[in-house]
Amino acid sequence: MSLADVLVDGQPCDREAAACHVGDPVRLEVRLTNRSPRSVGPFALSVVPFQDHQNGVHSYNLHHAVSFVGSGTFHLDAVQPSGQSACLGALLFLCTGDFFLHIRFHEDSSSKGLPPSWFCLPSVHVRALEARA
């Protein structure tokens, strides 16, 4: 069994939207815990922001609205049995609105079977509010 926890500005993501202010960097952390008896990896993890227009249409063309501070893709060689690893990044929201972050794991042909639970992470909801005065 393996676990993945997602934190936004140090707070665990749950069913409530994480709130931030336009122009303030938002820290994102994905913590991976390998509770299996074998090492898993190598693999990459990417964060893909999108907006849900509530009509079944997802907009992924958000270059004008969301910017990564650094990279949105993280490469990991392996997570050892009973080990942990964390991917740290930051985002900058450039306008107000409700945004979602889809976290994707990518295996290559040399990967050793990533846990299925890592492929089922829910999207993270972030609400960008007016900039602070």
**Domain residue extents for the chain:** 2-129
Domain 2-129 class, CATH top level? mainly beta
**How does pLDDT run across 8-17, given as a tens digit for each residue?**
888 887 767 8
Q: What percent of the chain has pLDDT over 70?
A: 90
Residues written for the chain: 133
The larger pLDDT score, comparing residue 53 to residue 89, is at: 89
Are the C-beta atoms of 98 and 17 separated by less than 8 Å? yes
Question: 57-61, 79-83, 112-116: lowest mean pLDDT where?
Answer: 112-116
**44, 74 in Cβ contact below 8 A?**
yes
Give the pLDDT score at 110. Answer: 57
Backbone angles phi, psi at 14, to 5 degrees: -130, -150
pLDDT in tens, 1-54: 346 688 888 888 776 789 999 999 999 998 888 888 888 888 888 999 999 877
pLDDT at 111 over 50: yes
Residues 6+ apart with CB under 8 A from 69: 25, 89, 90, 91, 92
pLDDT at 97: 93
pTM: 0.83
Q: What is the mean pLDDT of the chain?
A: 84
Rounded alpha-carbon distances, angstroms, from residue 35 to 12, 84, 85, 90, 103: 20, 9, 12, 27, 20
Q: Is the pLDDT of residue 112 over 70?
A: no
21 alpha carbon, distance to own chain's centre: 18
- Phi/psi for 117 (5° steps) reads -65, -25
